[in-house]
Amino acid sequence: MSGPAQGTGLRALAGAFANSLAGLSHALRTERAVRQEAFALALAVLLALVIGAGLWQRVALVGVVLLVLAAELLNTSIEKLADHVTPEIHPQIKIVKDLGSAAVLCALALAGLVWLAALAERLGLA
């Protein structure tokens, strides 16, 4: 695993970006939920062009799906760290994992609300 990016400026930025891509690549290869949300993101980009009434609505439609993916990546990080700390079932670790899962649920709820509102507006229901 890589440490903090060395140097300053563009070299540090490039190193941080490479680490981010490595993490995303690993998650896409190993986590079903991340693959599902990446697919949803690709679909959201296309559907936002049809459903979104303007630029900001399209950005919001894609943005909330990106938020779901970000929450899932953080949840996956928490779960992997927890499993590394103690692979055995532990009640406190279960709570930590459940809290991460709840964060994903909140992001999904927000995404659902934004998409429903945009769809209702597009259909003239709002």
Q: How many CB atoms lie within 10 A of CB 36?
A: 13
Rounded-to-integer distance, Cα 8 and Cα 55, Å: 35
- The question of whether 37 is a catalytic residue gets the answer no
Residue 3 CB neighbours (<10 A): 7
Q: Which residue is catalytic, options 31, 37, 72, 88?
A: 72
**Cα angle for residues 101, 48, 17 (degrees, 5° grid):** 60
Residue 100: how many other CB atoms lie within 10 Å:
19
User: Known catalytic residues?
Assistant: 72
